[in-house]
Amino acid sequence: MTVLYTPGQLRSAVSIAPETYRHWKKALGPLRRARGHSPCFRSGDLVALAVIRLLTLDMGIRVGALTPIGEALFDLCNRSPWPVLERSKLIIDLPNAALLLRSELTETPTDKPSIVIPLAPVISQLREQLLAAGSEDEQPSLRFPPVEISHAVVSRGGRP
């Protein structure tokens, strides 16, 4: 069973403002799949957007600079289940628009500048956000306790 998320749930899980989402939607093709408020994002999309958030808001990289890797990032995150991603690191080569997913214990020797993102903290934060969002009571408690109604009132259809 595939769980799909609405754009609002996606923004909430990744902790971005609606204005940020609209701006990123212009730069990143996979975000343009959304039509209105319908559920259309998969769990891998949440991971990809969390990585985009990390790169832009935490590391100061412009979202326009991430456009060349956008499709590949969303595709990579959707091909792998969360437990696999959680034990991996993402290696981003921005100048060549290349992405690699490697085990967190694998050595990645390279002679080129690259960005290495361990995905375990990203997945952990997403889980925490999703579980916090689901803990709200679906139905609030009644303000008044139930009261017993006499048989005579019930026979009249509940009217006094």
Are 51 and 78 in contact, with CB atoms under 8 Å apart? no
pLDDT digits (tens, 9 = 90+) for 86-127: 999 999 999 999 999 998 888 876 778 899 999 999 999 999
Work out the angle between the directed axes of helices 43-53 and 120-134 (0-180°, nearest 10). Answer: 120
Which amino acid is it at 155?
S
Read off the pLDDT of residues 41-87 as tens digits, 9 standing for 90 and up.
999 999 999 999 999 999 999 999 999 999 999 999 999 999 999 99
pLDDT of residue 112: 82
Q: Residue 68, exposed/middle/buried by CB under 10 A (0-12, 13-18, 19+)? A: middle
**Quick one: angle between helices 18-27 and 7-14, nearest 10?**
110
Q: Phi/psi at 34 (nearest 5 deg)?
A: -65, 135
- Is 13 a residue whose pLDDT tops 60? yes
Q: Which residues contact 112 (CB under 8 A, 6 or more apart)?
A: 93, 95, 96
Give pTM, 2 decimals: 0.78
